[in-house]
């Protein structure tokens, strides 16, 4: 069975702003599309919504708009995801480590984080995020820490995903 991954919006946003800028690293974006065609890489509709909140000419927004329909998986209309979302919210409510403000941001239904975790929990995907684990953090809930506390959810940074599934694509341009 092919390993399946869900990409967090921060991978796309930070990618287009820094490491995988469309001006010099179109190979990254092509790789995402190729990995999707091979049944490995997806995201969810909440991530799409976050990307579409960008300016009309934002390259990540334009790119997201042209992706195939199946790239962004259904989240709120999927009963299995919503059942897992209930578990995620139950964990968050019971966890006394995080501030009320952190919990408020995490539980905002317009944000993707809790839905990414719910989808991953429901269907066994690995969440790909640029967020760094920080068990001492209280003012925000990092995806990797939430995944560990919820249990049975794996996360990895984009660099690890690329190391596992990408080939060298950089070539010098004189």
Q: Which of 55-64, 85-94, 99-108 has the lowest mean pLDDT?
A: 55-64
Contact 85, 44 (CB under 8 A): no
Between CA 127 and CA 53 the distance in angstroms is 21
- pLDDT tens-digit map of 122-159: 999 999 999 999 999 999 999 999 999 999 999 999 99
Q: To which CATH superfamily is domain 5-165 assigned?
A: 5'-nuclease (3.40.50.1010)
| 172 has a pLDDT exceeding 80 | no
| 173 has a pLDDT exceeding 70 | no
Query: Where do runs of H (alpha helix) occur along the chain?
Result: 9-17, 26-37, 45-52, 59-65, 79-94, 100-106, 113-123, 143-150, 158-165
The 126-128 sheet, strands edge to edge: 72-73, 41-44, 5-7, 126-128, 154-156
- pLDDT tens-digit map of 2-57: 799 999 999 999 999 999 999 989 999 999 999 999 999 999 999 999 999 989 99
């Amino acid at each position: 069975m092919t390993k399946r991954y869900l990409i967090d919006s921060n991978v796309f946003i930070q990618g287009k702003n820094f490491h995988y800028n469309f001006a010099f690293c179109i190979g990254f974006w092509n790789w995402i599309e190729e990995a999707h065609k091979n049944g490995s890489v997806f995201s969810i509709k909440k991530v799409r919504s976050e990307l579409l909140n960008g300016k009309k000419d934002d390259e990540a927004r334009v790119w997201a708009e042209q992706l195939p329909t199946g790239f962004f998986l259904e989240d709120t209309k999927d009963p299995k995801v919503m059942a897992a979302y209930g578990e995620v919210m139950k964990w968050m409510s019971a966890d006394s480590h995080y501030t009320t403000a952190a919990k408020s941001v995490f539980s905002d239904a317009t944000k993707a984080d809790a839905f990414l975790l719910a989808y991953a929990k429901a269907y066994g995907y690995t969440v790909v995020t640029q967020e760094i684990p920080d068990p001492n953090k209280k003012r925000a809930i990092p995806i990797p820490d939430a995944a560990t506390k919820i249990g049975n959810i794996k996360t990895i940074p984009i660099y690890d995903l690329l190391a596992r599934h990408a080939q060298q694509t950089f070539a010098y341009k004189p």
